[in-house]
Amino acid sequence: MFHPVNGRKGFDLLSPCPKLVSKKPSLDIMVQMLKREDELRLSPAIQEKFSNPDFDTIHVAEEVQKQVVSEFGFENMEETLSMIRSAPLLYPECPEVRKIPHYINFNRSKQGDLSVGDTIPNSKLAYVDGTPIDLYKYIDSYFYNNKPIIINAGSYTWLPFCAYVQDMHNMFKKYSREVNFLTIYIVEAHAVDEWPVGDPLKVSQPLSTVERCGVARSFVKEYNYQIPVLVDLIDNNFSETWAAWPIRFYVVEDKRNLVYKAQPDEKNTYDSIPIDLERFIESRYS
């Protein structure tokens, strides 16, 4: 999500090196290159590599881009790779460029406006059975003890979210006397009809709250998920206002005050978050 191979540097689109502006190929050539890259990434052979645990997905995507550079006859590999990855800002006169690579078009990650110290926004959500509930009402009704609240957000098709299930269960068992836990199920990260990465789940992006609740129930059932789950409505209000996609962790005190918001690490991943979150809980509440 946050890696240059996906056209990003953290939450921002990758900026082109100034010296490349004068060297960039014609818009027509770049469009052809981006379409070819998209074709390759979505091909069965590459999807199979994405799904193979023996392959690093970033490396697979990088090899696809190198193949495109070679096919189009560019000699300077590093410069051309940089131009492909920064194409949306390298060709600002053509906003359509941003819509060609599916990994940019469907990348919803953003820093967002919500910061530590802010009052958390309310959101209209649903229980996994589809019954509507406001976030504030849920917090006030079920977390009456005023303990801090750990909120994590993610989806079935974001593998790190699934990989963190055991970590979250362990923290839930270990710290449930000190803090409350709540999970918000949000818009899919790698829906098969948007940004597939060889996931055998083959989950399409839900088109209604009812559909999303159904996928959330499947996630809860498969992982025997122990933490209470609410579902973001199909308008994605929670995901948008909390900048929760593809995954995020928060800590809320006094039912409304945000005191912790997870950030990607120096490797542009959330791999260190379970450890960092537990350290935060230990230092602040234990």
Task: Convert the pLDDT of each residue in 219-239 to its tens digit.
Answer: 999 999 999 999 999 999 999
- What confidence tier does 68 reach under pLDDT thresholds 50, 70, 90? very high
Fold (topology level) of 124-285: Glutaredoxin (3.40.30)
Q: What pLDDT, on a 0 to 100 scale, did the predictor assign at position 201?
A: 87
What is the pTM (predicted TM-score) of this model?
A: 0.94
Tokens standing for residue 252: 């809320």
CA–CA gap between residue 258 and residue 106 (Å, rounded) = 28
State the chain's mean pLDDT as an integer: 94
- Asked if 259 contacts 253 with a C-beta cutoff of 8 angstroms, the reply is yes
Spatial distance between the Cα atoms of 251 and 282, rounded to a whole number of angstroms? 13
Beta strands in the chain (DSSP E): 8-9, 12-13, 124-127, 132-134, 149-154, 180-185, 229-232, 248-253, 257-261
Q: Where in the chain is the domain with CATH 3.40.30.10?
A: 124-285
Instruction: Report which DSSP code applies to 26.
Output: P
Which among 78, 282, 67, 262 has a CA at the least distance from the CA of 160?
A: 262
Averaged pLDDT for residues 159-182: 94
For the cut 80, the answer to whether the pLDDT of residue 1 exceeds it is no
